[in-house]
Structure 1
């Protein structure tokens, strides 16, 4: 019986956002140095003829997925909920050459981590499952997504 092993890769990116309708300071455009930990689970490859022998997934393969889906998209971008009047601000910033992302949710860490989980799951090979994501917004605040909570 082969063991299931969890593999984690960590990423960081700088992203701005604003929370429309929020009653605190975060209603203002501001940014975070996000840290994202991506944990997948699978069985190490047991075929000694496979170049990835002994690996659950090559760290560089996981890195490619997360970079393409999240890091390269969100890094140095500003995220707004497109279903709010912030869409006007977003258009103005876009017109001035800023990298803006419009999402159909309030861009909290909680909602971002749900979005990221879907994007990563869609790209993983069938034999690898997304186990969990941890999105750290500040030194002391983070949101976590676990597959086991979302069955």
Structure 2
């Protein structure tokens, strides 16, 4: 039986600020993120199964990633809840803005770690998260591989 990797791509817009950073990213700014989610498993071999031949239905994978990442982070502003940006976050929330407070510096590296945990927890037992690629700009991205995190 063959083991197959499948990938689905997503995009979302998110703002953030990096408290304590020594460059321009200390300012509130945003990115058009592109997220590639690759899972690994074996295609279903039961010819009577409605998902015969699939590792996972792309629609099912899309539902998981949208609920855990895209719908949460799209058009939100992310701040580390342990920084002085908390005052700005509270002001934005009071004005009706979608703000996410996380317990990490909201870099692409840390966001991809967070996303990996959220997505992995929702996958069926027969399917594993293989990798994530979070592209922040046209030339910059962070990658997470299960093989590096065992």
TM-score with structure 2 length normalisation?
1.00
The answer to whether the aligner puts 1:10 opposite 2:9 as a matched pair is yes
Separation of aligned partners in 1, 2:31 and 2:83 = 21
SS at match of 1:113: helix
Q: How does 1:69-148 map to 2 (within 5 A)?
A: 69-148=68-147
Gapped regions of structure 2 (runs ≥ 5): none
Displacement of 1:78 in angstroms is 0.2
Look up the SS of the partner of 1:54 in the other structure.
coil
Q: Aligned partners of 1:43 and 1:97: how far apart in 2?
A: 45
Residue ranges of structure 1 left out of the alignment (5+ in a row) = none
Q: 2:75 and 2:97 mapped to 1: Cα distance?
A: 9
Q: Distance in 2 between matches of 1:147 and 1:87?
A: 32
Alignment deviations for residues 125-147 of structure 1 (CA, whole Å, 9 cap, x no partner): 00000000000000000000000
Aligned length: 150
How far residue 30 of structure 1 moved from its aligned partner, in angstroms, is 0.2
Cα deviations across residues 41-85 of structure 1 (Å, max 9, x unaligned)? 000000000000000000000000000000000000000000101
Matches of 2:88 and 2:120, distance apart in 1: 32
